[in-house]
Amino acid sequence: MTDITTEQATAAASGAAATERFRSRHQSGHTSAGTERVDTLATELITAVHDIVRRHQVTYAEYDALKAWLIQVGQDSEWPLFLDVWIEHVVEEVANENREGSKGTIEGPYYVPGSPRLPAEATLPMRDGEKGTPLLFQGHVTSVDGTPLSGATVEIWHADNDGYYSQFAPGLPEWNLRGHVVADETGHFWINTIEPAPYQIPTDGSCGRLITAAGWHAWRPAHLHLKVSAPGHQLITTQLYFRGGNHVEDDIAQAVKPELILAPTPVADGKGDGNEVTYDFVLDKA
């Protein structure tokens, strides 16, 4: 079998993988909302579209272009990408507006459950000679009342130094830079990984055509994805960014919050190469 490099990753392949992952996690495909709720949301959405058509005097040529683009988004399997980039950050904002603990942000389309379970002091699965600046990401998980959460789970995944995610680009090991780290009895964890790179969302499909037509950029800042959980507490889904990094100020997904920006420093006391950073998580009671 011919070796395929990550540089050959395409929007179609990433979109298909994201769509399949979503379907596998939401098998029924049915909403739990009642008829009245669906009526309210659907009616207001359609009414908002009507208002846009009237206010901007949308032409038939523009309407047909929109119809063709919507059809193509489905054919390209890019609905998860479109929704997670442009819509999810507002859903997350509403869902977590009453949290007292750590700030959350979007999950994004590249989450995969079932990554390897690792001890409190761990190195994420990675290739020999994995490119990038080594990073020690460490911290402490507590409840909102300050109680250390023994055995809390810190699930982490992120792109590599080329901006690619395992299972969404060819040529990468299955669990590259993905893992479930179980904090120690005091709620502490130490994760050795590499600093991810900023990346463009795939631009060779329908979302890319929208970006080009609107004159937008397609970049996300470098970030770590995390899901942090403990028994009796609410799971928090978040992303952590790097101070001074490209596109922290103009993330296409509008997911950056001031509380989520890291400031790594060189590893202390000559204990190794690369950088280290400490970030603590505070979980709300369930």
pLDDT at residue 12, as a whole number: 60
Judge whether 133 and 272 are in contact, CB under 8 Å. no
Query: For residues 11 and 52, what is the distance between their CA atoms, to the nearest angstrom?
Result: 29
pLDDT at residue 4, as a whole number: 37
Residue 79, token pair as written in the block = 């609905």
pLDDT tens string 118-127: 999 999 999 9
DSSP secondary structure letter of residue 270: G
Judge whether 176 and 125 are in contact, CB under 8 Å. yes
Give the residues of the chain that fall short of pLDDT 70: 1-16, 18, 21-31, 270-271
pLDDT at residue 3, as a whole number: 38
Q: Which of 214, 222, 217 is closest to 277 using CA atoms?
A: 222
Query: For residues 271 and 252, what is the distance between their CA atoms, to the nearest angstrom?
Result: 37
Query: For residues 277 and 266, what is the distance between their CA atoms, to the nearest angstrom?
Result: 9
- Calculate ∠ Cα 234-238-239, nearest 5°: 165
pLDDT at residue 27, as a whole number: 63
pLDDT tens string 266-283: 998 766 789 999 999 999
Does the predicted TM-score (pTM) go above 0.75?
yes
Domain ranges of the chain: 1-30+78-286
pLDDT tens string 97-135: 999 999 999 999 999 999 999 999 999 999 999 999 999
Could you name the CATH architecture of 1-30+78-286? Sandwich (2.60)
Q: Which residues contact 229 (CB under 8 A, 6 or more apart)?
A: 152, 153, 155, 235, 236, 283
CA distances 147 to 98, 143, 185, Å, are 20, 5, 11
pLDDT at residue 269, as a whole number: 73
Q: Which residue shows structure tokens 């502490």?
A: 188
pLDDT at residue 1, as a whole number: 30
